[in-house]
Amino acid sequence: MTNPKTRERELNPRTLTARVRARAADLGVSERTVWRHVAKAKAVGPERVDLPKRYEECRYCDEPLPKNATLRRQYCDDRCRVGAARRRRELASFRDASRYRSR
């Protein structure tokens, strides 16, 4: 979907380095962390290089996460993590059930 011009710019080593630096500063992580994501994105072959994203709020209860949370952090604690997994399961079984009914 990404047009070739954009892709060229994204993979141009000079602009990519600048973007990695800006992103690392933005997220408050080391450049290595961002480079690792870039390498992974290239290895798994997506159309564009996706740089890591930081979650600012818990994906379950929407409470803000601590500012010093690692990039990987998505939930406040285990309770929210488990709650989110349960919600995903319930949604999945609900979808299965409604697919059944509509037949």
Question: Mask: binding to Zn ion, 63-92, rule CB under 5 A, as x and -?
Answer: x------------x---x------------
Out of 20, 33, 60, 65, name the contact with Zn ion by CB under 5 A.
60
Burial (CB count <10 Å: 0-12, 13-18, 19+), residue 94: exposed
Nearer to Zn ion, 24 or 58 (CB): 58
Is the CB of 67 or the CB of 99 nearer to Zn ion? Answer: 67
| Residue 52 and residue 34 in contact, taking contact as beta carbons nearer than 8 Å | yes
CB of 93 to Zn ion, least distance (A): 23
